[in-house]
Amino acid sequence: MAEIVASAASLNPFAIAQHQFDTAADILKLDPRLRAVLREPVRELHVSLPVRMDNGDVKLFKGFRVQYNDARGPSKGGIRFHPDETVDTVRALAAWMTWKTAVMDLPLGGGKGGIICNPKQLSERELERLSRAYIDAIAWIMGPERDIPAPDVYTTPQIMGWMMDEYSKLRGHSTPGAITGKPLSLWGSLGRDDATARGAWYAVREAARVIDLDLSRARVAIQGFGNAGTFAATLGIELFGASIVAVTDSNGGIFRSNGLDIDQVLAHKKSTGSVVGFPGSEAISNADVLEVDADILIPAALENQITARNAPDVKARIVAEAANGPTTPEADTILHHRKVFVIPDFLCNAGGVTVSYFEWVQNQRGMPWELEDVHRRLDRKMTRAFGEVLAAARQHNVDMRTGAYCVAVARVAEATRARGWA
């Protein structure tokens, strides 16, 4: 049975999310009725979006919005545009958002959205029409008090701006609190752009204290060079003086033992579209980056990257999961036995949703904050959550992921019970 679960889990992100939840539910000896409620999304909407293309044709896109659990507050979670999107990926991500808002102790639930599309093959006008069509289709289940989307893979502040505008038109008044991750001109929060990576580095700082690692000498490898990955690179240098030795994007990657000049790598990516071919670097693959000689590995791309096959070869002492779901359960076990300190995704990358929450608070009150306030409050939230997860992991003698699940599931279970849902 365990093998069947493991093989299903290695294929399906939602099976992984349920498997991880079950582990925590067992440890917490969760009431079977609560367990049944918390194992499934409370609501999901499947939409078909007819979009007029620039050549006059109409193309149909499939999209989803999943609200996993809103016992603690309105659902919160990003929207992905990706050709390989599946409803099970969105369900898993919505579940992780629920645990993420709970582990950070935010007054929010968890949700996620996605559209099956390749944004790289769409013009800006087509992207705008698709974004607006998605909001037209899901508007009746979203809003500042119901469900607040945000950016995720291949969605940008501009896309959030169009979406907020579409939602506001439908409501007949400006509603900035309906979407976070907006451009600053539409009352996005200062500090939202690098919040995921900054939060991850605050968590890495705490982990480094636990394992006694000097960050100013640390070598860092990063898989994925989008929002989370690029800021992870620049902030690693800026905040701690770490050395970034490897980065990759969807086309491949680069390695330089003495550290990469990240400003120049960014300029190279801007002019060529990829980090690949950066002068003075060795070419590596997206698989190689997980195994390079580094103290800290930051997966910042997609799910299921660290598996039973490559986990024995991970050299890093800290794996900081900026991406959602980058490590399979089998790999988790291997890394735990090898004493690799894994900072689990829904703790490590919670800086994004935390500053999204700050943005929502600012929008609802009509009162913007200074950047220093955002950084200070984010640091406090991340440090506190890290400490609570570490304490739970030590109390139950489990890894950090299971510790994080214990903290989060207990909070959501208590709210679900208090509402009388189970």
Residues that bind ligand NAD (CB under 6 A): 151-154, 196, 223-229, 248-250, 286, 300-302, 322-324, 349, 352
Q: How far is the CB of 317 from ligand NAD (least distance, A)?
A: 21
Q: Which of 76, 112, 182, 269 is catalytic?
A: 112
Minimum CB distance to ligand NAD smaller for 155 or for 402 = 155
Of the candidates 38, 39, 76, 99, the residue with the CA atom closest to the CA atom of residue 388:
99
Report the nearest approach of ligand NAD to the CB of residue 344 (Å): 12
Is 167 or 225 the residue whose CB approaches ligand NAD more closely? 225
Task: Please confirm, yes or no, whether 269 is among the known catalytic residues.
Answer: no
Comparison of 174 and 252: residue with beta carbon closer to ligand NAD: 252
CA distance 125 to 417: 46
Using the structure block, give the residue that is written with the tokens 């929207």. 79
Residue nearest to ligand NAD (CB): 226
Spatial neighbors of 225 by CB under 8 A, at least 6 apart, are: 233, 247, 248, 249, 265, 269, 275, 300
Burial class (CB in 10 A: 0-12, 13-18, 19+), 36: exposed
- Shortest Cβ 250–ligand NAD spacing (Å): 3
**Nearest distance from residue 418's CB to ligand NAD, in Å?**
28
Q: Which is nearer to ligand NAD, 133 or 150 (CB)?
A: 150
In the bound state with ligand NAD, the residue whose beta carbon lies nearer, of 188 and 352, is: 352
In the structure encoding, which two tokens stand for residue 260, read together?
Answer: 């990469």
89 touches 394 (CB < 8 A): no
The nearer residue to ligand NAD, 327 or 363, going by C-beta atoms, is: 327
Least Cβ distance, residue 131 to ligand NAD (angstroms) = 15
* Residue 182: CB minimum distance to ligand NAD, A: 13
Tokens coding 339: 């004493």
| Nearer CB in complex with ligand NAD: 10/250 | 250
With tokens 């598996």, the residue in question is 307
Residue 389: CB minimum distance to ligand NAD, A: 17
Angstrom distance (rounded) from CA 86 to CA 318: 30
Q: Tell the smallest beta-carbon distance from residue 233 to ligand NAD (Å).
A: 11
Task: Select 223 or 363, whichever has its Cβ closest to ligand NAD.
Answer: 223
Cα–Cα distance, 293 to 279 (Å, whole number): 20
Report the candidate in 286, 377, 277, 393 with the shortest Cα–Cα distance to residue 342: 393
Would you name the residues annotated as active-site residues?
112
